[in-house]
Structure 1
Amino acid sequence: MAKNVLFEIGLEELPARFIDDAEKQLEDKTRSWLEEERITYTGIETYSTPRRLAILIQDMDENQATIEEEAKGPAIKIAKDEDGNWTKAAIGFTKGQGKSVDDIYTKDIKGTTYIFVKKLIEGKPTKDILPEFKRIIESIQFGKNMRWGEQSMRYARPIRWLVALYDKEIIPFTLAQVQTNNETFGHRFLGDKITLHHPLDYKEKMKDSFVIVDADEREKIILDGIKQIENQHDFLVPIEQDLLEEVKNLVEYPTVFVGSFEKDFLQLPEQVLVTSMKEHQRYFPVKSNSGELLPYFVGVRNGDSHAIETVIKGNEKVLRARLSDAQFFYEEDQKQTIDFYQEKLKNVVFQEKLGTIYDKVNRVISISKKIAETITIDENEKKQIMRAAEISKFDLMTNMVSEFTELQGIMGEKYARIFGEDEAVAVAIKEHYMPTSAGGELPKTLVGSVVSVAEKLDTIVGCLGVGLKPSGSQDPYGLRRQAIGILRIANERGWEINVAELFNIAVELYESLILEHFNIELVQQELHDFVQQRVAFVLKERGIEQDIIQAITGEEIGVMSAIIQKASILSSKRNEESFKPIQEALVRVLNLASKTDEMEVNAAYFETDSERSLYEAYEKIKQSYQSWLEKDNYQEAFVQLEKLAEPIHQFFDNNMVMAEDERLKTNRLALLNRIAILLNSFANLNAIEWKQHF
């Protein structure tokens, strides 16, 4: 008879950002464990709230599956003696498997005969295995763990209760000095202690005690509540998924409400108001149907609608205080000058071995200048770049950014306009932080792009030079994200700058500064592999295969826009049926060319028309190929290489490359080597696994 099983881990309030991942881990690890233990079931449901993680396993079999297993023993020459009798090795092997020598049979494996026995592994009762579930609970990983009391166990938050039910029976085990039972707890303020008599009662019993354990159901309640408010008030509540997911994981019993604030606060920049509501209070901002911000907010209470008006007034009071502070900071900040804030940067450490933020700004100015000299821009743009680099960090010293750190760059743009800076400079201050995630929005302006790249180059090279290389999942300075940002910007802007040369701008700057703790040799060792891995990541995100990534980036990384174009061309070509004959021709050339370093081709040694035709085609196509490369048209450049396929096939059909005449052989190999060098100037085609597509 099938049974139902419930496990619930009761905790102090979990950080909202941990919950979804922990719930997924709970499900994945449970499924794997049940499979390993050969326990069948019909379904799994997981639940989560800030105070609990739970899993319901439906219709679990009462016993493990019984299986027959084949056990391999020693080779027959060891298992039998010269007289054909079973040796101690054979007898010991069968005893160890609970069998006798009468059960032995033999099988040949790679030319050697071994002895085997088959053994039946009886399934244990499931209830005897279930206490081992504590290992699943212990194995859940969180972004940050803690210890509590005298416990050696590390977990996101202290475990306060454990429910473990096998139908009506309690599954006995102890974890962190907490013994399993059938008692759980409802809402912290509205609920009671609950005794569960059966796993299938869990969801409804919790709801009766003001806990919605299904996270998707809480999300739906929130969305339905917001939609109802929109209809009542005829305004829009834009939903950001990140905020919605966070809010649903902050409450156990959601009730949606709408509050308001004074219209005078709308004079503040919209980002200030939105940040105050979203980041600090977890409210949803409200807009009119035409998209204008309105003096309202939507919040979600962790509880029912009792005395909701009092709750609304309390939230309005908290927000009013926040916005009053913001208004004060906004007005006070404008009483100073950019130079005033620039001077204060000298007192703020960027990184102890790399100096202050003021020092960093000076390095960014130098790197920006070098990039500006490398790309094609006019004098006015160059001036804008230099000014944007110079004041890119001034807003970090303002009251507003000190209080609302999420507004760095945003307030820099606002204040730069107020202080009379050029519009392009103001925009660049905000844009130089972009992208803020690996796939985030890129700077839209040239000025912002240059300063963004310069700032990221300084951070990456500086951190690598003082030994702050990312390891595993640890990347406190976001070096991987910033490197990807550099590559994406370089590609988007179409800069004809070799990626290695771009990073070398920062390396040369640091080398000239001779900083006490900076190790230039360490940078040179680390940088190529680090950047190459980020290039590979960008290409992989575009669906490029690993061998093609290696072909493009194996030696020198090159220009980013060229890398992406070449990779896309090769990736599409390898899957085209019509390209296979061309592949075959190119691969034959590459394989034979690897046998020589010879480069000198003497046309007087040609014996056949096909030799001459291939050489003439090579000379003509080489010029055309180079012409298209100069125009950055890699598609057409590769088309030229494809034209070599037919004369290559004719060459192989009519000539013996490895001829007995040494002069003929050397000349033919030299011709193929020249063609191979031309092919590999596009990419290291030898690295591509063409053969798997024939």
Structure 2
Amino acid sequence: MQNKDVLFEIGLEEMPARFLPGTIEQLESKTTAWLNELGLSFEKVLVQATPRRVAVTILSLSDKQPDIEDEVKGPALRIAKDEAGQWSKAAQGFTRGQGAAVEDIYTKDVDGTEYIYVKKFVKGQHAVDLLPSFKDVLLSLHFPKNMRWGSGNLRYARPIRWIVALYDEAVIPMEIAGTESSNLTYGHRFLGKTATIENPAAYASVLEEQFVIVDQKKRQQMIIDGIRQLETVNGWHIPIDEDLLEEVLYLVEYPTVFHGDFAASFLDLPQEVLITSMKEHQRYFPVTDPSGQLLPHFIGVRNGNSDHLENVARGNEKVLRARLQDAEFFYAEDKAQPIEKAQEKLSKMVYQVELGTLQDKVDRVTKIAKMISEAAVIDQETAARAERAASIAKFDLVTNMVNEFTELQGIMGEKYARHFGESDSVAQAIREQYMPLSSHGALPESVEGTIVSIADKLDTIVGSMVIGNVPTGSQDPYGLRRQAIGIIQMLQKTDWQITVEEIVNGTVELFEQQALPTVERDTYTEDIRNFFKQRASQLLKEEGISHDVVEAVLSVQIGNYPYTLAKAKTLQVLRQDENFKPVQEALGRVINLAKKGADHGVEEALFENEYEQQLYSMLNQKKTAYMEAASNRQAKEALDTLAAFADTIHAFFDHTMVMAEDEKLKTNRLSLLNQLAALILSYADVTKVQWKQVQ
């Protein structure tokens, strides 16, 4: 028999655009895994989706599984035969379980022991009998949110309305939530009608006749071509925002691009207000001139054909005009209300039940900002501006504009701050407090903005942890992971002489002073430590640092992140250097043995040989040089200082019994090793490094 194509289409009520990219990715991987598990060969898996359907086409699927002849090992021959030389019950049970008979048994020697074997033949099943199990793949899909409909118990992205399941021309029997499979699909909700799919190859063309472009790549190109055509005809520049393009792509089944206009007087509004109104609220693409200045036009995408497109444009213009008129009113009203008046409202707005009001948060952020400035030794003028910015950082949250356009928080704060006479630095810091907006987004440019941003994020993260709101799995509703990564990235960019632990512990202390934690201290301190360590680990790995080196440099603490990164890069190179292996062995031996005791102080009078004295003297001599290199964050120099101990350490262990019977001698020697181990561990736990030799 020849290979055939397969089509599965599941039709639903309109799904949110944000559901579809992940659904497409899941279906492709799950379908491929399902086919591989069944042992069915295929040419390609093609997943296509619109708001009302998700379809999987399997090209050139083999008609059946391959037949398999396998050799199955049974019990040892001495067990397989009884004392009379007859096949035992164990042998009979073994063959029966493999669908064979005792006459099929043969033996093979395995490491000097005879075992019985049989050949097991598994006949491959036909694809037509296996395809109905694709129902399990469809039901295994995960969505950001599910719903239940009717009297059924199935929870799915949206109610299922039809199912197409075809093996070439034959319908594959399948039923989900009372919906039976067939070869009938449904076209555009308003322009199309019911259509019959004769075979999978005809799927896309049949739907196109019903005003559905099922191929998302083709739909996207239609949108881009329509935008570029308007650019050319009108001499406009239309920047295509990729996120907006993806959203629009999954909002329509048959895209038609159109343009509309709005009154030029609205251009007096802040550009961000206009763009937000168009992009976020109406899904329009803004239009600019070649220099990037906004023009009073917008680009929309209709879910339909070009009939009566002028009426569509007029209707959209009316909707946008109403929004912009509201924005005009809000802008005028907000500029009439001083910052101090807005600030008064913050004390009446709950930030988090256990953590108080927005004003309480502002007060904490202001104190944290001051603490950061002092730790980083920021000059007084800059520190004062950062403190001022922190103290008014949230005033725009109570403005009309941000209440209507929440995406503009910080942005409007900057504009209103300038309007009310705040310095440029303070105004800029108010906007930059929310940066970075993504894990690898742009960081604040100003020192003041960096201080306020770190302070705000520390308050959010620590505040969540002390009341037990710790992100689990993929659940992170407050974006704590992104914010922690942002803190570390900002510390890397500024290169301040502060450690992550220093500012985190200072923030924790502030919450404790205000008696805000609701969980046990040991619990939240461990949660916070692990949380930041995981984020630092992620960033180090993104820098190409191997897992073992990451564990080594983070074993004690994150510390000063730029220096930690430099140490990791140094070890990453040396882990492949055979000449450094004896150094690692010496330093590692010190760390391991030091664990058997503690530092109770070293008494030179208890030294019994010159090697003890040499190691202690060297520790006292080199410690200052090491600390100076570490203070200057000279990773290579600091490690070279530790490496200089190697020969002395080896000599010490060759001539000294650390675990002496005399308790005083043992304690003294362990104290010496503990002092040296503390120095080594402040760099990295080198016992965790796996030395890889270049072949």
- Fold shared by both chains (TM-score > 0.5): yes
The C-alpha deviation readout for 1:228-278, integer Å capped at 9, x for no partner, is 111111121111211111111111111112221111111100100010011
Q: Distance in 1 between matches of 2:654 and 2:109?
A: 45
1:292 partnered with 2:300: no
The C-alpha deviation readout for 1:376-406, integer Å capped at 9, x for no partner, is 1222222212211111111110000000000
Change (3 A) 1:659 1:493: closer
- Counterpart of 1:103? 104
1:62 partnered with 2:63: yes
C-alpha contact (below 8 Å) 2:658/2:670 kept by paired residues: no
Aligned with 1:690: secondary structure?
coil
Q: What number of residue pairs does the alignment pair up?
A: 684
- Counterpart of 1:493? 494
Q: CA deviation at 1:518?
A: 5.9
Q: Distance in 2 between matches of 1:671 and 1:176?
A: 72
1:118 partnered with 2:116: no
1:371 partnered with 2:369: no
- Counterpart of 1:568? 569
- Counterpart of 1:321? 322
Considering only aligned residues, what root-mean-square deviation do their CA atoms show, in Å?
A: 3.0
Q: CA deviation at 1:159?
A: 0.8
C-alpha contact (below 8 Å) 1:187/1:210 kept by paired residues: yes
- Counterpart of 1:267? 268
Residue 195 of structure 1 aligns with an amino acid whose one-letter code is T
Q: CA deviation at 1:498?
A: 2.3
- Identity score, percent: 48
Aligned with 2:486: secondary structure?
helix
Q: CA deviation at 1:497?
A: 2.1
Q: CA deviation at 1:584?
A: 3.8
Q: CA deviation at 1:142?
A: 0.8
- Counterpart of 1:307? 308
Change (3 A) 1:155 1:659: closer
- Counterpart of 1:281? 282
Q: CA deviation at 1:678?
A: 4.6
- Counterpart of 1:404? 405
- Counterpart of 2:142? 141
Q: Distance in 2 between matches of 1:633 and 1:553?
A: 17
Q: Distance in 2 between matches of 1:476 and 1:416?
A: 29
Aligned with 2:330: secondary structure?
helix
Q: Distance in 2 between matches of 1:546 and 1:46?
A: 36
Q: Distance in 2 between matches of 1:449 and 1:660?
A: 50
Q: CA deviation at 1:146?
A: 0.7
After TM superposition, the structure 1 stretch with the greater mean CA deviation from structure 2, 168-177 or 623-632, is 623-632
Q: CA deviation at 1:526?
A: 1.8
C-alpha contact (below 8 Å) 1:283/1:298 kept by paired residues: yes
Q: CA deviation at 1:630?
A: 2.2
Change (3 A) 1:681 1:104: farther
Aligned with 1:211: secondary structure?
coil
Q: Distance in 2 between matches of 1:289 and 1:517?
A: 56
C-alpha contact (below 8 Å) 1:585/1:648 kept by paired residues: no
The C-alpha deviation readout for 1:380-436, integer Å capped at 9, x for no partner, is 222212211111111110000000000011111110110111211111111111112
- Counterpart of 1:358? 359
Q: Distance in 1 between matches of 2:570 and 2:90?
A: 60
1:225 partnered with 2:226: yes
Change (3 A) 1:112 1:496: farther
After TM superposition, the structure 1 stretch with the greater mean CA deviation from structure 2, 504-513 or 618-627, is 618-627
Residue 504 of structure 1 aligns with an amino acid whose one-letter code is N
TM-score calculated relative to the size of structure 1: 0.92
Gap regions ≥5 residues in structure 2: none
Q: Distance in 2 between matches of 1:153 and 1:656?
A: 71
Gap regions ≥5 residues in structure 1: none
Q: CA deviation at 1:84?
A: 4.5
- Counterpart of 1:390? 391
Residue 584 of structure 2 aligns with an amino acid whose one-letter code is L
Residue 234 of structure 1 aligns with an amino acid whose one-letter code is G
C-alpha contact (below 8 Å) 1:462/1:518 kept by paired residues: no
Q: CA deviation at 1:44?
A: 2.0
- Counterpart of 2:585? 587
Q: Distance in 1 between matches of 2:396 and 2:353?
A: 21
Q: CA deviation at 1:111?
A: 8.2
Residue 261 of structure 2 aligns with an amino acid whose one-letter code is S
Change (3 A) 1:226 1:365: same
Change (3 A) 1:662 1:25: closer
Q: Distance in 2 between matches of 1:410 and 1:656?
A: 67
Change (3 A) 1:463 1:679: closer
Q: Distance in 1 between matches of 2:355 and 2:66?
A: 62
The C-alpha deviation readout for 1:130-158, integer Å capped at 9, x for no partner, is 11111111111111111111121111111
Q: Distance in 2 between matches of 1:426 and 1:372?
A: 18
Q: Distance in 2 between matches of 1:416 and 1:637?
A: 47
C-alpha contact (below 8 Å) 2:20/2:49 kept by paired residues: yes
Q: CA deviation at 1:681?
A: 3.2
The C-alpha deviation readout for 1:145-184, integer Å capped at 9, x for no partner, is 1111112111111111000001110001110110000000
Change (3 A) 1:133 1:673: same
Change (3 A) 1:682 1:108: farther
Change (3 A) 1:82 1:342: farther
Change (3 A) 1:124 1:613: same
- Counterpart of 1:344? 345
Change (3 A) 1:107 1:468: farther
The C-alpha deviation readout for 1:343-362, integer Å capped at 9, x for no partner, is 11122111122111111111
Q: CA deviation at 1:594?
A: 3.2
